[in-house]
Amino acid sequence: MLKILIVDDEFIERDGIIFLINKFSFDFDIKECSDGEEALKYLKENSVDILFTDVKMPFMDGLELSKSAKLIHPNLKIIIFSGFGEFEYAKKAIGLGVSNYILKPINQLEFKKTIENVIEEVVWERKEKQKREIRSFTEKEHVLLKIISGTSIENLRERFSLDAYTDFINKYKRMILMEFDNDFFHNHQGFIKEIQNNLEIKADYLNLNPQQSIFFLFDSVDESILKKICIKIHNRILEEYEVDCYFAISNLLTSPYLISEEYYNMEHIMEQRFFISNNCIFSKDFEISLESTDEKFDNTMLKNIEYDIKVKDFYGLRTHVNVLIKKFSAKNAFSQIYVKFILSSIYRNIHQEMQKVGEMDLNEKIDKIYFCKTIQEISDILNNIINSMEKRFSKESLNNRHEIELVKSYIYKNYGDDLSLDILAEHVYMTPSYLSSIFKKETSMGINGFIKNYRMEKAKEMLEDTNIKIKEIGNLVGYSNTSYFCQSFKEFYGLTPEKYRQRDDASE
């Protein structure tokens, strides 16, 4: 609904204008003021679409009001009405950017036509503004996606020849990565927009894939406040959709050049959720709080460690061992014998997997553990043997490359099907966290990013080389939701699939 402000020192005149508005069924939110000064005060505190003002009024006339109002609201539409029909008034009004000039007594048909024209102008300008905002937003998304995937800022600046792109990324101070176990963003973008609008701090939003999105924050907000915001969002989504979501909080962005690095760090930090239950927020300084007498937890962790040793998941192994060390260090209620027994058992399992050190050397190490005076000494011994094990099996990096090629081949053959980290990890008999780590290390790209890049490339080929319908192309490259496919394609290439195909047709 448009808002109109009617200004006249004569009540009967204001009442007559309101009568005509109602007679012609114009849907306005109507406000009234009895003089220019009162109207100007109202305009300083409120937004208005149309100002309908008399010229001759006490304190401040309509022309002076129009001039001041335009300084406050440059896009304001102004209609002057007066019994003074002199040409000089009309000239002054036009010079002030007044939309129309109506003479008293008001002709009803002229009034109707004038209001219709002004409404049409306001609606058109609103649509154009929205188009500009959408265009600007999609361009920002495109640039951010490129930065996240590792494209240098210098390359982007040269490619777009616009310093504005570096201007907006300079304003970002932190990032929050939001992740789900399954597809969430396909069908709930509207809900996420609602969350963004209700955030307590200003932020830009970027959807990465059906399971991940990022909030780019404009303020250097304290991490404790960010955690409270994340918990509020988590609880809202849990209540509304009965699904869990997870958050990773970046370090402060002291430079836009850190965006890509911090995104990689957040993905790495997010891997903690594979190991730590009952937690939805992760950050670099994440501390684990555990109950000192939770024997069930100890048994679970030992089984995880045994599995890490078996599959050579050194990241998982270090993480799980570190969890136990932190638990034992945090409480003094444990028996030293119990702690040393648990940690020496881990050492023994690692040694057996290596099958290189002699039994006498093993017994000496176990004895050394039992003679340690601090838990930090035992931690150092375990870290040393884990390092030795990783070095011992460093030749397996060749095998890692082979596994990565198998994963790539699987993606190439099945890009149109449901693909996830769990599915790919199962295909090469690895843990999801380990596969994610070595894939990023070998390709400098996350698995989700690699899948999206390949799907977009295949979609582009189909648009260029075939006449397959856009909806079918979306299905063929793994997008069941056509609108989401079109959005993802535009984010990646800067054009919708339809516009991209038209561009190719025009160049032939």
pLDDT tens profile 428-470 = 888 887 788 788 877 778 888 889 989 999 999 999 889 999 9
Answer whether residue 293 shows pLDDT above 50.
Answer: no
- 177 and 269, same domain (yes or no): yes
- Which residue in the block uniquely carries the two structure tokens 């915001």? 229
Domain count, the chain: 4
Task: Select the more confidently predicted residue: 508 or 181.
Answer: 181
Final residue of a structural domain among 69, 92, 125? 125
pLDDT of the residue at 136: 47
Answer whether residue 292 shows pLDDT above 70.
Answer: no
Answer whether residue 192 shows pLDDT above 80.
Answer: no
Instruction: Please check whether residue 270 lies inside any domain of the structure.
Output: yes
pLDDT of the residue at 88: 62
Residues 381-436: tens digit of each pLDDT? 898 888 888 777 765 555 567 788 889 989 999 999 988 888 998 888 888 877 88
Residue 48 CA to residue 27 CA, distance in Å, equals: 14
- 367 and 326, same domain (yes or no): yes
Residue 359: which residues within 8 A CB-CB, separation 6 or more? none
Cis peptide before 74 (omega within 30 of 0): no
Answer whether residue 6 shows pLDDT above 60.
Answer: yes
- 403 and 326, same domain (yes or no): no
pLDDT of the residue at 16: 92
- 426 and 496, same domain (yes or no): yes
Residue 278 CA to residue 422 CA, distance in Å, equals: 20
- 300 and 381, same domain (yes or no): yes
pLDDT of the residue at 458: 92
Instruction: Please check whether residue 163 lies inside any domain of the structure.
Output: no
- 353 and 323, same domain (yes or no): yes
CB 375 within 8 A of CB 331: no
* The residue type at 201: I
Instruction: Please check whether residue 141 lies inside any domain of the structure.
Output: no
- 343 and 406, same domain (yes or no): no
Give the domain CATH number at 99: 3.40.50.2300
Residues 122-153: tens digit of each pLDDT? 988 887 776 655 454 466 777 788 888 777 77
Q: Hey, what are 203's tokens?
A: 């932020």
Residue 438 CA to residue 311 CA, distance in Å, equals: 13
pLDDT of the residue at 19: 94
pLDDT of the residue at 202: 85
Give the domain CATH number at 462: 1.10.10.60
Residue 417: which residues within 8 A CB-CB, separation 6 or more? 478
Instruction: Please check whether residue 149 lies inside any domain of the structure.
Output: no
b/e map 69-94, b = 16+ CB within 10 Å: bbeebeebbbbbbbeeeeeebbebbe
Its domain, for residue 231, covers 171-283
CB 334 within 8 A of CB 328: yes
CB 489 within 8 A of CB 500: yes
Q: What is the mean pLDDT of the chain?
A: 81
pLDDT of the residue at 134: 46
Instruction: Please check whether residue 314 lies inside any domain of the structure.
Output: yes
In terms of DSSP H, where are the helices of 415-446? Answer: 421-427, 432-443
Q: What are the residues facing 80 on neighbouring strands? A: 53, 101
Instruction: Please check whether residue 491 lies inside any domain of the structure.
Output: yes
Instruction: Please check whether residue 147 lies inside any domain of the structure.
Output: no
DSSP structure string for 445-481:
S-HHHHHHHHHHHHHHHHHHH----HHHHHHHTT-S-
pLDDT of the residue at 290: 38
Final residue of a structural domain among 234, 250, 283? 283
CB 4 within 8 A of CB 21: yes
pLDDT of the residue at 493: 84
pTM greater than 0.85 (yes/no): no
Task: Return the minimum-mean-pLDDT range out of 72-81, 186-195, 379-388, 429-438.
Answer: 186-195
Residue 497 CA to residue 505 CA, distance in Å, equals: 12
Residue 178 CA to residue 210 CA, distance in Å, equals: 11
CB 9 within 8 A of CB 35: yes
Residues 228-237: tens digit of each pLDDT? 889 888 888 8
Instruction: Please check whether residue 142 lies inside any domain of the structure.
Output: no
- 442 and 475, same domain (yes or no): yes
pLDDT of the residue at 3: 94
- 175 and 272, same domain (yes or no): yes
pLDDT of the residue at 333: 55
- 198 and 272, same domain (yes or no): yes
- 211 and 107, same domain (yes or no): no
Final residue of a structural domain among 332, 361, 392? 392
DSSP 419: -
Residue 111's Cβ-count burial label (10 Å; 0-12, 13-18, 19+) is buried
Check the CA dihedral 278-280-284-287 and report its sign. negative
- 85 and 7, same domain (yes or no): yes
Give the domain CATH number at 178: 3.30.70.270
DSSP 187: T
Residue 7: which residues within 8 A CB-CB, separation 6 or more? 32, 33, 34, 35, 36, 38, 39, 51, 52, 53, 54, 57, 62, 65
Q: What proportion of the chain, given as a percentage, has pLDDT over 90?
A: 21
pLDDT of the residue at 161: 52
Residues 323-352: tens digit of each pLDDT? 888 877 765 556 677 788 888 888 888 888
